[in-house]
A and B are shown apart, each in its own frame.
Chain A
Amino acid sequence: MKKEEVPQDKSHLEKANAKDLVYAVDENGNYTTALSTGWQPKSIALDNAILEIEERTAAAKARYLKNESSPIEYYMELHKMDIPILASYMGMWQWRVKRHLKPSVFHKLSAKTLQKYAEVFEISIEQLKRIDD
């Protein structure tokens, strides 16, 4: 990549006033560094990944409203987690966390377990038990 070809596309970096550092060659063929505001191919990939998470979160909410899933699934998706990550934060086996996604099991959870989930998601137990619109 030549230094003058370093892309300066719009990206989410702008909000944080951040830029990417990339390596490129100058007019004499010597390597140097340059700052880039972003590059469209990767912005699209990132935007798609975010859309994916938003869809998963919306689907989890829909399942909660149909009583097919506990709010834990929704909060897990909201925090960009999956079962292995959430289990790791909870210090539990994955199969236990997976069970807690069932509404019937969720309703029987101890106050202590609920408290732990609430702490991981940084919300109150009250908030954990429902999903705000």
Chain B
Amino acid sequence: MIDTLPINFSHKQSAHCENGVVSNLMRHKGFEVSEPMIFGIGSGLLFSYLPFIKVNYAPVFTYRVLPGLVFSRFAKRVGIKVKREKFSNPIKAQARLDENLKNKNPVGLQVGVYNLIYFPDEYRFHFNAHNLVVYGKKDNQYLISDPVMENVTALTEKQMEKVRFAKGAFAPKGHIYYPTAFPEKLDLESAIVKGIKQTCRDMTAPVPIVGVKAIRWVAKNIRKWPKKIGAKKTNHYLGQIVRMQEEIGTGGGGFRYIYAAFLQEAAGIIKNENLKEFSSEMTEIGDLWRDFALDASRIYKNRSGESDGYNKIADQLNTIANREEDFFKRLKKTV
């Protein structure tokens, strides 16, 4: 395989991989859009509880929307066209990637984390919705800009095939994506309003598995778990909640701080001073989530031990649910 000339790609670390890939690809095309702006316009914020689906022997808790949605909503709202391809054949998948690099087109890739050798072992789980940018190929190594890493890195062809064809839930199937067409000027104003409205709708949706209702459902279950499934399993579930909230590149507080940063930036763009107030309120809510994580960790520190703290953290979740419900109801009216 012939090397391709390196693409001059500027790598910037982000909290979350998908926002980071989009932000870095946009910068490469001459559009400076921050990570919070992409996350906010793409309506990335959420809370969802799926007790009937188990991952790592615990139910699914998530603080953001499904992988891929942030970029597709962002693209639609600011008027960008995105090309996406998936493959069943790894050879074709590699050929298409090489072709893009030859044309000096850096591409976003969905990959599995388990075989991502530059991650510390402890972080390598079968999680298939990680995103990174490939911006070149040198000595048969792919040059990688992984948004959650401070610096750029590299993978061999073989390693690349493994992460692109990881199996299990959300299998990437060699998924590559990149923006193909841009408007002359990004229409951020209307995109911001649309993005905020959707998040307000999602968070106050009248269904038990998303938004504030899902937070309340988890709170209710936390009170029942110790009796129903035992302390050990309960503590494992609590650990899973905190990891989803803090570990997977959320920027802290289950994406609430990124969202607060978005509201602050948006205030200036759509000239709505109220959003600054909303931003500091969202920061307070993020702090409440951090307090919840801290208190939950005091319980699961002792993996199998009983604790009387379960009701307290359930109360904390109810307080958060009330704050978020009130917050998003008012936010909807202000934009």
Binding site for B on A (CB under 8 A): 1, 6, 12-13, 15-25, 29-31, 33, 35-36, 39-42, 44-46, 48-52, 79-82, 84-85, 88-89
- Interface stretch, picked from B97-105, B195-203, B246-254, B320-328, is B246-254
A73 → chain B, closest Cβ, in Å?
14
Instruction: Kindly state the separation between the CA atoms of A44 and B296 in the bound complex, as whole angstroms.
Output: 11
Are A16 and B118 in contact (CB-based, < 8 A)? Answer: yes
Are B280 and A29 in contact (CB-based, < 8 A)? Answer: yes
Question: Residue B150 at the A interface, CB < 8 A?
Answer: yes
Binding site for A on B (CB under 8 A): 13-15, 36, 56-57, 114, 118-126, 148-150, 167-169, 171, 235-236, 238-240, 242-243, 246-247, 249, 251-253, 257-258, 260-261, 264-265, 279-280, 283, 286-287, 290, 293-294, 296-297, 300-301, 303
10 contacts between A and B (CB under 8 A): A16-B119, A23-B251, A25-B283, A42-B242, A48-B239, A52-B57, A80-B124, A85-B167, A85-B169, A88-B168
- Residues of chain A contacted by B149 (CB below 8 angstroms): 18
Are B168 and A84 in contact (CB-based, < 8 A)? Answer: yes
Are B265 and A31 in contact (CB-based, < 8 A)? Answer: yes
Knowing A1-B290, A22-B251, A23-B15 touch, does A44 contact B148 (C-beta < 8 A)? no
Other CB < 8 Å A-B pairs besides A12-B121, A13-B120, A21-B148, 6 of them?
Answer: A1-B257, A16-B119, A23-B260, A46-B122, A80-B126, A85-B168
- Residues of chain B contacted by A40 (CB below 8 angstroms): 297
- Residues of chain A contacted by B150 (CB below 8 angstroms): 17-19, 35
Are A48 and B258 in contact (CB-based, < 8 A)? Answer: no
Are A46 and B168 in contact (CB-based, < 8 A)? Answer: no
Residue of B nearest to A41 (CB): B297
Are A80 and B297 in contact (CB-based, < 8 A)? Answer: no
Are A18 and B120 in contact (CB-based, < 8 A)? Answer: yes
Instruction: Kindly state the separation between the CA atoms of A45 and B296 in the bound complex, as whole angstroms.
Output: 10
- Residues of chain A contacted by B57 (CB below 8 angstroms): 52, 82
A94 → chain B, closest Cβ, in Å?
12
Are A41 and B257 in contact (CB-based, < 8 A)? Answer: no
Are B239 and A23 in contact (CB-based, < 8 A)? Answer: no
- Residues of chain A contacted by B261 (CB below 8 angstroms): 23, 31
Residue of B nearest to A12 (CB): B122
